[in-house]
Amino acid sequence: MGARLAARRHRQELGRALHFHADRPGPATVLGIVLAWLGMCGLTLINPAESIALTIAPSMTFTLMWGLILLYLSGERLVVCERGMIIGSTAPFVHPYVVRYDEINPGSLVPLLGAQRYAKETEMGDFPQSTVRRYWWTRRGIHFVGPSAADARRRRALLAVVMDPPPRSVDGRWLWFAGTGRTSPGQVSAQIAQAAGDSGAVALAQAAAHVPVRELSGDPADAPAHLPGTRAR
């Protein structure tokens, strides 16, 4: 639906959008898609059809197919608003999640490096999950403990049973991760702290204002120290 459209849709609840962060695929992923497209198009020229139209048609189909794949992979956003965040894919026909600041556990929000090790450290596995917005290219992001995906979705979803993880925090709530793209996760956590403080979520703002950036090790034994609110192994 687009990040700005999502921000307008949820403005009554979250207020004005302040900062937009995109966790887009890196150069290696884009290059891989381009090479796959070139390879598939090249195969159609080995034994071309009798007419030009039939020869071009498969290449146009592959262009559309890989273009849509890249479009959907590039839709991941983190939008910092006045009273909460919009997290998730904003690709066409996809709806992101809404998390208000008063739904986040104070002290659980931390900026992270080494996001590719998040699955191992939390023991959540690499299977895509609603509350963990992490891809193979994601290196930076923020972690926090908050509401369930069902509550944050604000709508029904057909794949919820498959995608929604169980509660995994020490108080029976849900772990969240959102990539910050090229932006420093420390900068994003500072933006969230400022917005949370201005909206009245003082405890969250004070805890997140000066929290240092943490580098994940991938060892589940380090999870409680690196990821506040995570259950000890």
Cα torsion 67, 90, 230, 26 to 10°: value is 30
Mean confidence (pLDDT) of the chain? 90
Instruction: Of 32-41, 119-128, 146-155, 177-186, give the range with the top mean pLDDT.
Output: 177-186
Report the distance separating Cα 78 and Cα 179, nearest Å: 7
pLDDT at 145: 98
pLDDT tens for each residue of 145-192: 999 999 999 877 666 667 889 999 999 999 999 999 999 999 999 999
- Residue 205 pLDDT > 90: yes
Residue type at position 23: D
pLDDT at 141: 97
- H helices present in the chain, as ranges: 3-9, 11-14, 27-44, 52-73, 118-122, 149-153, 160-163, 185-199, 202-209, 223-226
pLDDT at 220: 93
In which band, very low, low, confident or very high, does the pLDDT at 128 lie, cut at 50, 70 and 90?
A: confident
| Order of strands, sheet of 140-146, starting from the edge strand that comes earlier in the sequence | 132-133, 174-179, 140-146, 110-113, 214-215
Question: What percentage of the chain reaches a pLDDT higher than 70?
Answer: 92
pLDDT tens for each residue of 2-16: 889 999 999 999 999
Q: Beta 174-179 vs 132-133: how paired, if at all?
A: parallel
**Residues 143, 209 contacting (CB under 8 angstroms):** no
pLDDT at 206: 96
- Residue 106 pLDDT > 80: yes
pLDDT tens for each residue of 48-98: 666 676 667 777 888 899 899 999 889 999 999 999 999 999 988 888 999
Cα torsion 58, 59, 63, 64 to 10°: value is -30
- Residue 118 pLDDT > 70: yes
Q: For residue 231, give the nearest of 218, 220, 219, 216 by alpha carbon.
A: 220
pLDDT at 13: 95
Beta bridge partners of 76: 89
For residue 72, how many other CB atoms are within 10 A of its CB? 14
What's the pTM? 0.89
**Mean pLDDT of the 130-157 span:** 92
